[in-house]
Amino acid sequence: MALRALSPEQRETFYRDGAFFEPSALDPADPHKLVVPKEQSVNKIGHALCQLDPVFRAQTLENQRLKDLARDLGAHQDPLGK
């Protein structure tokens, strides 16, 4: 999905419903209203960046040095054993 193709209202819904805000950042009575400053409300902003942006993907998921480092640190186990 290209976010640029969405209307402002659709983008707002995508971000709000897509768990991009900390649960405690939204007013339970009005989920469109933030109860903390916007800068403190964001969550998971970069979770899919490495999959959606080709430049970021090349520097992260496809970067052999990072793969080796994660494996050496025991931070990741490749399910395919590669």
Condensed to tens digits (0 to 9), the pLDDT of residues 43-72 reads: 766 667 777 788 888 888 889 998 888 888
Q: Are 51 and 37 members of one domain? A: no
Q: Are 18 and 37 members of one domain? A: yes
H runs (alpha helix) in the chain: 8-17, 49-52, 54-59, 64-73
1 within a domain of the structure (yes/no): no
Q: Are 51 and 71 members of one domain? A: yes
More confident residue, 26 or 11: 26
25 within 8 A of 40, measured Cβ to Cβ: yes
* Percent of all residues in the chain with a pLDDT value above 90, rounded to a whole number: 4
Q: Are 54 and 25 members of one domain? A: no
Q: Is the pLDDT of residue 73 over 80?
A: yes
Give the list of residues 6+ apart from residue 60 with CB closer than 8 angstroms, or none.
Answer: 50, 66
Q: Is the pLDDT of residue 79 over 70?
A: no
Give the list of residues 6+ apart from residue 36 with CB closer than 8 angstroms, or none.
Answer: 22, 24, 25
Domain range for 60: 47-76
Q: Are 51 and 68 members of one domain? A: yes
> What pLDDT is stored for residue 64 in this prediction?
93
What total of structural domains would you count in the chain? 2
